[in-house]
Chains A and B, each alone.
Chain A
Amino acid sequence: MKFITEFRRSELAEGLISQIHRQSKTSVKFMEFCGGHTVTIFRYGIRQVLPSTIEMVSGPGCPICVTANADLDKAITLAQIPDVIITTFGDMLKVPGSHSSLQKVKADGADVRIVYSTMDALKIAERNPTKSVVFLGIGFETTAPTIAASILQAEKKISNYYVLSLHKLCPPVLRAILDSGEVKLDGLICPGHVSAIIGSHPWEFIARDYGIPCVVSGFEPLDILQGVDMLVAQIENGESKVEIAYRRGVRPEGNQQALKLMEQVFEPCPAQWRGIGEVLNSGLKLREEYQHFDAELAFDIDPGPTYEPKGCVCGDILRGVKTPIDCRLFGKLCTPGHPVGPCMVSSEGSCSAHYLYGGGFEG
């Protein structure tokens, strides 16, 4: 058991597909919250094998895409401060802010380094004691505990390490989307790796208060198909509950140690989501005891007024109200080579997935 190829077996996929076809009677709209799910769905052409009764819409589960321009501008401004080394996950490099991107300021001489892990960022801080090393804290509940751990590792040892905390929390934004009433959902595929940390309980309000069936899924093609199959079963049985399809990776109670570290270092705060606006308690800021790691407090950042690209409907796409093909810029003015909005930049953005993997293409 290596936990990867076992979950790509085509004969098992065929079984699930035919069971879904047999059981799905009601026309439904399911949202895959998570961009990772969107990528698997497109990469394996899963929409092509689902019955016409099932419509899949992508949700706001791409941390890069939902980062507001004002926050991107802060990161880009930080990068331009002398003697600052920006360390970041590769995803952030190309995302356009109001006026520039990390990639562009890097070309102008800013020291921007791509890392795989905060462990690597800490090493860079240790090796460059005369510089300030800022880590761009992007990501949901999956990533936030790893940033918290990096701060605890740096505490009392590394004094030139800072974090720009742009973390976002998933359950509050889902509530905001559902409350807006703009999209009517019949089922939700919940993010597997966020749930590895927070467990399945935090999704229960969706099943209980909104009557929407939820299934926590993994990221292999069989995981997604199993998630869809379980949603269909709930729909046809008239149920709405939270189930875990990804049982090898997710426990109902989540990862208590990760949650403890996250809570020790961060506290909830309001956060700006692109296309959605400010959502209460959906962000994370450093607690007072750890404020000396806060890049926003350590540096004087004034990125000035923000600017939103004209005609870009990323915001509507993130709320599941529009699809990329509804956007006038899609595939014409906005391509992965010349992205206008973040959903085209991030490899798990809905627009990028549609563009690269030929959304709706029937081969």
Chain B
Amino acid sequence: MCLAIPALIKSIEGKEAEVEIGGITRRISLWLTPEAKVGDYALVHTGYAINVLDQEEAEETLRLLEEIAGMAEEEG
């Protein structure tokens, strides 16, 4: 439920931001994420940023998954 996609914040003007999602741009609202900065990736749901994505956590998750894949390979 609740389709939300990661979008890169390009510029901020008051409570609104211009975001880019894979080559398309759209204005979104920052009412729910006042902490968002230019260069952040926000999780956008129905035109509102509902969270700022955590780059370090994403990398950490991928590292963990790579480790699991490496283990599978060794055993397989």
* Cβ contacts under 8 Å, A257 to chain B: 31-35
Q: Given A1-B59, A2-B6, A6-B58, does the pair A15, B69 have CB atoms closer than 8 Å?
A: yes
Docked pose: A257 CA to B57 CA in angstroms:
21
The B interface is mostly helix, strand or loop, or mixed, namely mixed
Whether A12 lies near B51 (C-beta < 8 A) is no
Would you give the shortest CB distance from B37 to chain A, in whole angstroms? 15
Contact check, A16 vs B43: say whether CB atoms are below 8 A apart: no
Q: Is A339 an interface residue (CB 8 A)?
A: no
CB-CB < 8 A to A194: which residues of B? 1-2
User: What is the interface residue range for chain B against chain A?
Assistant: 35 or more
Given A2-B6, A143-B46, A146-B48, A18 and B32 contact (CB-CB distance below 8 Å): no
CB atoms of A247 and B61 under 8 A apart: yes
**A15 and B2 contact, CB distance less than 8 A:** no
B65 & A143 in contact (Cβ 8 Å cutoff) = no
The CA of A131 and the CA of B35, in the complex, are separated in Å by 36
Q: Given A34, A229, A245, A255, which contacts B33 in the complex, CB threshold below 8 Å?
A: A255
Instruction: Decide: B29 and A2 in contact? CB cutoff 8 A.
Output: no
Q: How many residues of A contact B (CB 8 A)?
A: 54
**Chain B residue contacts of A4, Cβ below 8 A:** 5-6, 22
**Separation in Å of the B23 CB from the closest CB of chain A?**
11
Determine the main DSSP class of A at the interface with B. Answer: helix
Of B28, B32, B72, which one neighbours A145 at CB under 8 angstroms? Answer: B32
A251 to B51, CA, bound (A): 9
Residues of B within 8 A of A61 (CB): 1
* CB-based contact B33/A120 at 8 Å: no
Is there a chain A Cβ closer than 8 Å to B4's Cβ?
A: yes
CB distance B46 to A255 under 8 Å? Answer: no
Residues on B facing A (Cβ under 8 Å) = 1-6, 8, 22, 27-29, 31-35, 41, 43, 45-48, 50-51, 53-55, 57-62, 65-66, 68-73, 75-76
A residues with a Cβ closer than 8 A to B are: 1-4, 6-7, 11-12, 14-16, 18-19, 22, 34-36, 61-63, 89, 116-120, 139-140, 142-143, 145-146, 149, 152-153, 191, 193-194, 196-197, 222, 226, 229, 245, 247-251, 255, 257-258, 261, 348
18 contacts between A and B (CB under 8 A): A1-B58, A3-B6, A3-B53, A6-B58, A15-B73, A18-B75, A34-B2, A116-B47, A145-B50, A193-B1, A197-B51, A222-B65, A247-B57, A247-B60, A247-B61, A250-B51, A257-B33, A261-B31
